[in-house]
Amino acid sequence: MAAPSYRALGFLIRGPGPLWRSLFTLFSKPLCSSAAASRPLDAQRLAEKLRAQKREEKTKKQPVPTNPVQRRVRELVRFTQQLQRVHPNVLAKALSRGILHQDKDLVVISKPYGVPVHGGPGVQLCISEVLPILAKMLHGHKAEPLHLCHRLDKETTGVMVLAWEKEVAHQVQELFRTRQVTKKYWAVTVRVPVPSAGVVDIPIIEKEVQGQQQHHKMTLAPRYRMDNGKMVKVRTSQNAQVAVTRYQVLSSTVSSALLELQPVTGIKHQLRVHLSFGLDCPVLGDHKYSDWNRLAPQKLPGGTLKKLGLQQSKTRYIPLHLHARQLILPPLGFRKEELQLVCRLPRFFVHSLRRLGLGMPNQEENGHNEARPLEAQ
């Protein structure tokens, strides 16, 4: 009996039955696979697979560094980079969990470290970008986006006010502009200011810094200078802006302090400039304003480094220890009384206080602060 012949894929195949079956299997598998690949994926199975992969990644134990400095660096990185490279939905969810106050006009959130308020060059994720998502999480899919009422620096943490309506946002912005909002910040400083309480009233101006890295910084533009022991008035630049900061030491050691700051004005980087260039007590982790001439990691005394568990070569990992602790808003809209908003300190801030031996103040109802050791918490 003659061997059967078949035409497959444009050429003639001759041979016995078993040979044909093997060749058919060989040529048909890719065709079947491509057909299967062209079918739509099962969304539920794909989602389950992705969730399983994420669980595996979380359960994978990374080797624990044996070097104490490496452990400290890893701790700082974990504290400060949690929300800087995440999906917008994840950031919005985190903000919703940290809501400090919510009513029909306002939503007050705790701003996390390292997340900018507005977008710009090199910014992958910012708070303004996730406000539509946050609004939908709070009020459903038909909710209109929330509106920013003010801003905080990227590295600053703490109280941040949002509004449901643009008109309310404008009203709150006007309260900030006319200095009707009481703002209180907490900062850890390198060195202790003298005197322990006072007012820094020195105008601020932006200048270009000449050097290996040309850059711009805010700096002081004082109205007076000392000349042979006498105070002489100086002609200030028209671009200088009035800047006033009240400060008070809440707790201190030989080489560091916890300060409460109350900015009367709202100039860019005002607190950092007044502390660093006015009081010679830069904020811990301020790698921009600790040295006027260069942009470099903050240089710290040996005793401070020892307490923090770091070497000088690793100080670039220290975050800015500046926290918007409290806002007091005057009556607005349906509210007939002032609104006091207080935000807890971030974990890295609390850990640094403990390492430096600084006490955590008790804020009494009469407005006074009484420091107590962190171990008592």
Give me the pLDDT at residue 146, please: 96
pLDDT < 70 regions, the chain: 1-41, 55-66, 363-377
Beta strands in the chain (DSSP E): 5-8, 11-14, 99-102, 106-111, 147-148, 157-163, 182-190, 197-201, 204-209, 215-220, 224-227, 230-233, 244-252, 256-263, 322-329, 339-342, 360-363, 369-372
Give me the pLDDT at residue 29, please: 46
Other beta carbons within 10 angstroms of residue 308's beta carbon come to 21
SS (H, E, C) 349-377: HHHHHHHHCCCEEEECCCCCEEEECHHHC
One-letter amino acid at 3 equals A
Give me the pLDDT at residue 134, please: 96
Give me the pLDDT at residue 319, please: 95
Q: How far is CA 43 from the centre of its chain?
A: 34
pLDDT digits (tens, 9 = 90+) for 267-299: 999 999 999 999 999 999 999 999 888 888 999
Closest CA to 289 of 160, 194, 189, 371: 189
C-alpha span between 313 and 293 (Å, rounded): 19
Other beta carbons within 10 angstroms of residue 299's beta carbon come to 13
Q: Provide φ and ψ at 197, rounded to 5°.
A: -150, 150
C-alpha span between 82 and 76 (Å, rounded): 10
Q: Which residues are designated catalytic?
A: 153
One-letter amino acid at 102 equals Q
pLDDT digits (tens, 9 = 90+) for 33-81: 444 444 555 777 777 777 777 766 655 555 666 678 888 888 888 877 7
Q: What is the DSSP string of 220-266?
A: E--SEEEETTEEEE-PPPTT-B--EEEEEEEEE-SSEEEEEEEESS-
Tokens of 112: 């996390």
Give me the pLDDT at residue 369, please: 46
Give me the pLDDT at residue 58, please: 59
Largest CA distance in the chain: 124
Domains defined for the chain, CATH in brackets: 68-356 (3.30.2350.10)
C-alpha span between 204 and 88 (Å, rounded): 36
Are 323 and 185 in contact by the 8 Å Cβ rule? The answer is yes
